[in-house]
Structure 1
Amino acid sequence: MSLGKGSFYLSRFDLNKEYGAVEQPFKPTLRSAAPVFDEAGKRRGILVLNYRGQALLQRLSQVSASYGGNLTLVDHEGYWMLAVDPLDAWGFMLGKVDATLASRYPTSWQRMKVQNSGVFSDHSGYWAFSHFDPYQRADKSLDTSEQWLLVSRLPSEQVQVLRVEVLWQVLLSACVMLPLGLIVVLRLGLSEFERNQVREALEVSSQALQQSNTDLRDTVEQLQRTRGALIQAEKLSSLGTLVAGVAHELNTPIGAASMAASTLDKGNQSLQKSLGEGLQRSALERFIQRNDEGLAIILKSLTRMAQLTRAFKQLASDRASTERRRFDLVELVGEVMLLFTPKLKQANHRVQLELPQCLMLDSYPGPLGQILQNLIDNALIHAFDSGMNGEVTVRVEHDQVRHECVIEVSDNGDGMSEEVLGKIFDPFFTTRRGRGGTGLGLHITHQLAVDILGAELQVCSAPGQGTQFRLRLPLA
């Protein structure tokens, strides 16, 4: 009743009494009380709470059972509230004055009084203890006159039994491990011996491999030089086709212009002769008409020659420089087709073009023209048997969704088997070995498509169903 505002009272943890006698069965109880004040600060009464401590003791018993049943709860006088032997509990309530930790183990009790917690051993056993304040006061340096203790004791007899058990386990383990260790040592020695033999064999094999690698490196270098020479020969062959196309295409307009010029020269000589004999009006009109026709033929031939020269010049420049520029794919296909005019006139095959009006690319026209030439030439050479009227279709599509263009070169020829289809892009693979085939045309085509244009080149074929090459490349 003398406590101030905000303070509380906590009783000793003991057994509940009714009418002066300890209630049966035991009811461990902890009582707390606090004064109650009104808004004016006047004391109005006391609030008392009784806590039945059996739940606390049961929880501690469960924890104790998990650790060998040696955990006890002791108050500040050394009386057990939870004991290993239940008959030792609540001695201060039942008149058992000697049923205390302090009286049975006085030396151990004194050591626990001077420290808040610790672990030690003495003649009575192995001890572990910890003080705690039920008031939960912040100052931990206060004396232990009202604190409880959690105490665990392992008797000396049990410690000795454990030591004997551990000793036997160690001896048994040693007896087992020593033979095992001997076996392991012998195995390790044998393994080391075998490892040395393997190392010596590997050294011999390594020397042989080094010699093989040297020979292989020399062979690869020789193959690289041969491959470079063959690639250069393939490019020169393409250039020869370009020159042949130029000569053939220019031959027609040059011949027409030459014939027209010769006709005009004869007409001019006839007109001069008529002037000496007396020029007639009909002869003059006939000369003017033939002159107009001849000049028209010459002008048309010269225009055609200029167009062809410009186209071949651009095509040759693109092949030589491999520079990126903006160009019309449709015009590039037309320029490439000029190269095949002589070959198509001599053969029974034809090339069908399916092109849009215009399709602008920001790419490399030289490699792209080389790819188109190689694919069409490959179809004309390999796809058709002799005497067969073949057809090659060149189709250009604009994929607006993916900002790409698709170029298809397909034929209605013999097609290819799966074995041949899997090797057509390999260097030096050809089905015309000994008949002029180098096996580099499609290999160069694939390299140009992937490495320079960043394109995807696919092929689809089956025996008797023709072949389709599909080149998909970005517009830029």
Structure 2
Amino acid sequence: MAEQAHKLSIRSLFLWAVMSIATLSLVISSGLSIYNQVKIYREDLETNTITLAKLIGQTSAAYLLANQPDYLDRQLDNLSHAPRILNVHIYKNSYYQQATLNAPERFASYNREGEYLITSKVNQLDSLEAKVKLSEDRDYLEIAERIYDVETGSTVGWVYLRMSTKSFNERVGASLLLNVTVMLVLLTISFLLAIRFQRVVTAPIKHIAEFLQRTSRQRDYSARSDGSNVKELDILADAVNVMLIRIQEYMQKQKRAEEQHNKLNTSLEEIVNQRTLALKGANQELIQTLEKLHQFQRQMVQNEKMAALGDMVAGVAHEVNTPIGLGVTASTMMLDRLAVIEKDFNNKTLKASALQRFLDESKENLNIIYRNLNRAAELISSFKQVAVDQTSETSRSFCFAQLVNEILLSLQPRLKKLQHNINVNCDPTLCVEMKAGPINQILINLIMNSVIHGFENIEKGDIEISAELVTANKFKLVYRDNGKGIPDDIKKRIFDPFVTTKRGQGGSGLGMHLVYNLVTQALNGSIVLSNEEGQGVEFVIVFPIASAKKV
């Protein structure tokens, strides 16, 4: 009963789906509508503000040239018929001499009745020129325009205009209210329609459910469900009827089989012979199934090998992204700086200090690009060699210490966030000829087993990899860690397939089985486990090699 209380009904899901889609659609459409309306209102207000500023400037030019501030004040008083204009200041350019321009001085002004007088805007005229600026409290717009002498084309003054945004705010508020009201009305209509439509769907479903419950209680498989006006529900009713027909046929067949079985009991010898034949067929099928199971097991081992390579590809790709991204950023920055220098050079404004700064920044950016591209090249080169080794089954001559370092470098994306230490104890001049692929797979599996299983809940662990020549043609590899070790109950089965301590948590149980197969089959060697629970593990691997030398 408690579980049923948490389950959703079709009615609830239908209502939620319809209302969610309707709400999302209305919110998006209303939002876009409000945004477009506000944008149009604002552009209209800004256009009117700029137009008024230009008209006032053209009208004031003659009074500035005639030096008639009183006449201009009376003309500006006519702006009282424009309710949105709050303040207008006319500034006149003054000259100490013919060639020396002084700061503009206020020549005439208009202030709407009831509005406070604003201070001089002389210092802000350049920043407000031909650009509408909205106040911080969004109560008004302000702009400044130059006043030109028509005959000479010189600047004789400035006009400063402050325009009220009250009507704009009122129109925006009215638009918001209208859209919200329409949205609520449409949501109400959608809710009522959804209730109506869900009844059309749920009523036939409820009828079919009651019919099935009644049929299962009475075991009357000859009963048939009625159709529905809804196409999908009518298909469901037909499917239920087909199922009942098949159940009825099955019951009839079962009854006939029972009758036949009673007859067969009279002939025991015949029954024994039939069962013997059936047993032989079952044994043959079991043998085939076992063979398929072995094939599946081999395929799983191969998939495990490819999965390790896939994880390495993803890790190295992620690691390479960082230096390449830094290189792209540095090159983009150089292009931007080069464009600035080119512009200054073309405009003949290039300074020596700017050129020196550009050269210093270029050196720094080129060093960044070189370091990061070199780092990416090292990662890709290491990964290419490790990937070739993993997929190759041929022998080659290589430095064993270098091979281990390449493997650790390929695992760096997965190990860099951990604090575990990996120590390699091997003669750096030792070169051997053997298959590098199995060694690659063995070390990757052992290291990842230590990280995932051995160092679980351990913040900092130690791994030691030792390698040496036992004889001229026999190689010994020892792997140790100081993790939790392997539990005693699975120690004897550690190399069996599908043995794992992470059952149901992503562990396949094929890692150590793959290591055992690689050592015994690919390398023709042996592997021995030394383990005490709580004190880490030690794997000793011995296998023959083609040749060895020191360089």
TM-score for the superposition, normalised by structure 2: 0.46
The amino acid across from 1:456 in the alignment is S
| Residue-by-residue CA offset, 1:275-303 (whole Å, 9 max, x unaligned) | 12422222222222221222222222222
Conserved? CA contact 1:261–1:294, under 8 Å? yes
Distance, in Å, in 1 between the alignment partners of 2:475 and 2:319 is 30
Partner of 1:397: 468
C-alpha separation in 1, matches of 2:421 and 2:318: 18
- The unaligned stretches of length 5 or more in structure 1 are 1-202
Which one-letter code corresponds to 2:423 in the other structure? Q
Q: Distance in 2 between matches of 1:378 and 1:450?
A: 19
Report if aligned partners of 1:413, 1:466 keep a CA contact under 8 Å in 2.
Answer: yes
Q: Deviations over 1:91-112 (max 9, x none)?
A: xxxxxxxxxxxxxxxxxxxxxx
Using the alignment, how far apart are the partners of 1:268 and 1:216 within structure 2? Answer: 76
1:429/1:206 Cα in 2 relative to 1: closer, same or farther (>3 Å)? farther
Q: Quote how far apart the aligned CAs of 1:364 are.
A: 0.8
Residues 1:429 and 1:208: Cα distance change in structure 2 (over 3 Å) = farther
SS in 2 for 1:443: helix
- Structure number, greater radius of gyration: 1
- Contact 2:400 / 2:428 at 8 angstroms: preserved in 1? no
1:451 equivalenced with 2:521 (yes/no):
yes
Distance in 2 of aligned mates of 1:217 and 1:340: 42
Inter-partner Cα distance in structure 2 for 1:245 and 1:225: 30
Task: Determine the structure 2 residue equivalent to 1:303.
Answer: 374
- Measured in 1, the distance between the counterparts of 2:458 and 2:492 equals 28
Distance (Å, rounded) in 2 between the aligned partners of 1:357 and 1:263: 42
Query: What per-residue deviation string (whole Å, max 9, x for no partner) do you get for residues 104-149 of structure 1?
Result: xxxxxxxxxxxxxxxxxxxxxxxxxxxxxxxxxxxxxxxxxxxxxx
Structure 1 position 347, deviation (Å): 3.3
Query: Whole-Å Cα distance in 2 between the matches of residues 266 and 404 of structure 1?
Result: 61
Counterpart residue number, 1:363: 434
Match of 2:530 among 436, 455, 460: 460
1:374 to 2:424 alignment: no
What residue in structure 1 maps to residue 318 of structure 2?
248
After TM superposition, list the pairs within 5 Å mapping 1:9-408 onto structure 2.
Answer: 213-275=283-345, 276-399=347-470, 401-408=471-478
How far apart in 1 are the matches of 2:430 and 2:277? Answer: 60
Residues 1:289 and 1:475: Cα distance change in structure 2 (over 3 Å): farther
Structure 2 letter corresponding to 1:327: F
Residue equivalent to 2:500: 430
Aligned-partner Cα distance in 1 for 2:356–2:476: 57
Q: Distance in 2 between the 1:355 and 1:254 partners? A: 33
Change (3 A) 1:209 1:411: farther
Deviation per residue, 1:396-427 (Å, 9 max, x gap) = 2343x454332222111111244322111111
Aligned mates of 2:373, 2:446 — CA distance in 1? 32
The aligned counterpart of 1:412 is 482
How far apart are residue 474 of structure 1 and its match? 3.0
Q: Which has the higher strand share?
A: 1
Query: Identity rate of aligned residues, in percent?
Result: 36
| CA–CA separation in structure 2 for the residues paired with 1:384 and 1:370 | 20
AA aligned opposite 1:223: L
Q: Which residue of 1 aligns with 2:88?
A: none
Q: Offset at 1:266?
A: 2.3
Q: CA deviation at 1:204?
A: 13
- Counting matched residue pairs gives 273
Length-normalised TM-score, structure 1: 0.53
Q: Deviations over 1:18-51 (max 9, x none)?
A: xxxxxxxxxxxxxxxxxxxxxxxxxxxxxxxxxx
- Partners of 2:422 and 2:384 in 1: CA distance: 23
TM-superposed CA distance for 1:213, in Å, is 4.1
Q: Do the aligned partners of residues 273 and 294 (structure 1) sit closer, same or farther apart at CA in structure 2, a change above 3 Å counting?
A: same
Q: Secondary structure at the match of 2:504?
A: coil
C-alpha contact (below 8 Å) 2:399/2:428 kept by paired residues: no
In the alignment, the residues of structure 1 paired with residue 350 and residue 395 of structure 2 have an alpha-carbon distance, to the nearest angstrom, of: 62
Structure 1 pair 229–403 and aligned structure 2 pair: CA distance change class (3 A): closer
Local SS of the residue matching 1:423: coil
Matches of 2:433 and 2:498 in 1, distance apart? 32
For residues 312 and 466 of structure 2, the distance between their equivalents in structure 1, rounded to whole angstroms, comes to: 22
Contact 1:344 1:350 in 2 (8 A): no
Partner Cα distance (1:397, 1:217) in 2: 45
SS at structure 1 position matched to 2:414: helix
Q: Secondary structure at the match of 2:542?
A: strand
How far off is 1:387 after superposition? Answer: 4.7
Distance 2:474 2:326 in 1: 43
State the AA in 2 paired with 1:233: N
Change (3 A) 1:226 1:413: same
Q: CA deviation at 1:340?
A: 2.2
Matched residue type, 2:505: R
How far apart, CA to CA, are the structure 2 residues paired with 1:300 and 1:389? 30
User: Which AA in structure 1 matches 2:541?
Assistant: L
Equivalent position SS for 1:346: coil
Cα separation, 2, equivalents of 1:410 and 1:463 = 13
Residue 280 and residue 370 in structure 1: after superposition, are their counterparts in 2 closer, same or farther (change >3 A)?
Answer: same
Amino acid at match of 2:290: V
Q: Say if 1:405 and 1:473, in contact at 8 Å, map to a contact too.
A: yes
- Residue by residue over 1:136-177, the C-alpha shift from the partner in whole angstroms, topping out at 9 and shown as x without a partner, is xxxxxxxxxxxxxxxxxxxxxxxxxxxxxxxxxxxxxxxxxx
CA contact (8 A) 1:230 1:438 kept: no
Greater relative contact order (Cα < 8 A, sep 6+) = 2
Distance 1:404 1:270, change over 3 A: farther
- SS of the aligned residue for 1:352 comes to strand
Give the direction of change, closer, same or farther, for the CA distance of 1:289–1:404 in structure 2 (3 Å limit). Answer: farther
Q: Is the 8 A contact 2:386 2:410 kept in 1?
A: no
Deviation of the 1:208 alpha carbon: 9.2
**Contact 2:484/2:533 (<8 A) preserved:** yes
CA distance in 1, matches of 2:355, 2:344: 9
| Separation (CA, whole Å) in 2 of partners of 1:304 and 1:458 | 38
Partner-residue secondary structure (3-state), 2:456 = coil
